[in-house]
Amino acid sequence: MLGRFVHSLLARRPDLTVQIVPANELTFAPDADQPADRHAWQTVDLLIVEDLQHLAAGSLEPLTHLLDYRRAARRLSIITANAGPAQLHGLSQRLRSRLAQGLIVPLEPPGLASRQRLIRRLAAQRRLALPDAVVDWLAGRYASSVRALLGALGQLAHLSPEPTLASVQAHLEQAHEPPRPLLESLTRAVADHFGVSVKHLCGPSRQPHLLWPRQVCMYLAHRHGQLPLARIGQGLGQRTHTTVLHAIRKVEQSLCQDPQLASQLARIWARVGGCVG
C-alpha cells in the first residue's frame, strides 16, 4: 500500500525525492545526535520511516531531532507502526509528543468487500476470469492475510484462464509436499524470473547480469519475507550485513524512480507466497 502511494505521488510530482528507511536500519553516528546519513535524511522531500516499533532505543533522541529539523524546514515525514504513539512501548516522551502532533491515520485490515475488489482487479491483471463463487471463496479463505491472498492468486496462474471453484479449491488445498523454506522458494522465483540459475544467484560471481537479480532477492527477502539481514546474506553466498543493506537501498531507490518496478516485484513475490511455510 505504501509503495503504491509513493508511485502515485511520483507520477504526479516526478521532481520530488523520496527515501524509505526501515526503523530497525535507522542508524546514527556515535555522537548520538546526528544520523549517519543526516544530510540525505534532512533534505529529502519525503522521508518514510517504517515499523517504528522496531526502532532501537539509542535512536529515539536522534530521530526526534531529525523530525524537528524536517518540520522546521517544512519537509514531509511519514512514520508507520503497528500501533499509535500512545500504544507504542519504549518511546521517549519527546518523540511521542512529536508524533502525536501530526496526523494519525489508523489502517484496518481490508474488509470482505475490499478483498473481493482486490481479487477481481488482480485477477484481471493476470487475465483470469474468476466466477463470483471463486472470488467469494478466496475472500473468505484469506481474510487475515493479504500476503497469502496474493500468493494464492499467483498460484492460480498455472490453471486455465477460466478456473472453476472445484479446480481452485483442489489446487490450493493440496498439501502433499512440505512447504519450502522462504529463502529457497524466493531464490527459485527470482532465478526463474530473470533467467539465471539458483546456483549462480547464490554464488560468488559479481557479473552484472547477476547483481540486480541478487539485489531484488535480498530486498524481497527482507521487506516482504521479514528475514533478518544476516540470514539473507548467509543464504545468498555468505554475504555481509552491509552488502544486503546496500542491495535493499538500491532497490528502494529504483522503486522511487521506476513506477513499473513495484508490479514486477509483486509478480515475483506472488509466486512465492503460496509455496512457503
Mean pLDDT within 129-139: 90
Burial class (CB in 10 A: 0-12, 13-18, 19+), 158: exposed
Residue 127 backbone zone (phi > 0: left; psi -120 to 50: alpha; other: beta): left
More confident residue, 198 or 227: 198
Tell me, yes or no, whether 105 lies in a domain. no
DSSP H or E run through 18: strand 18-22
More confident residue, 254 or 175: 254
Average pLDDT taken over every residue of the chain: 81
Residue 75 backbone zone (phi > 0: left; psi -120 to 50: alpha; other: beta): beta
Question: Given a cut of 50, is residue 224 above it in pLDDT?
Answer: yes
pLDDT at 217: 94
Closest CA to 153 of 126, 187, 116, 113: 126
What is the identity of the amino acid at 110?
A: P
Tell me, yes or no, whether 72 lies in a domain. yes
How confident is residue 74, by pLDDT bands cut at 50, 70 and 90?
very high
Range with top average pLDDT, 28-32, 34-38, 210-214: 210-214
Residues 169 and 214 in one domain: no
Residues 69 and 40 in one domain: yes
| Cut 0.85: pTM above it | no
Q: Please give the span between the terminal C-alpha atoms of the chain, in angstroms, as a whole number.
A: 24
Tell me, yes or no, whether 190 lies in a domain. yes
pLDDT at 211: 92
How far is the C-alpha of 221 from the C-alpha of 232, rounded, in Å? Answer: 7
DSSP H or E run through 166: helix 165-173
Question: Given a cut of 70, is residue 232 above it in pLDDT?
Answer: yes
* Cell reading at 141: 479463505
pLDDT at 38: 55
Residues 165 and 187 in one domain: no
Residues 250 and 213 in one domain: yes
How far is the C-alpha of 262 from the C-alpha of 251, rounded, in Å? Answer: 10
Angle value at C-alpha 136, between 163 and 109, nearest 5 degrees:
125
pLDDT at 133: 92
Mean pLDDT within 3-29: 77
DSSP H or E run through 19: strand 18-22
Contacts of 157 (CB under 8 A, 6+ apart): 126, 128
Q: Which range marks the domain in which residue 88 is found? A: 2-100
- State how many domains the chain has: 3
Percent residues over pLDDT 90 in the chain? 17
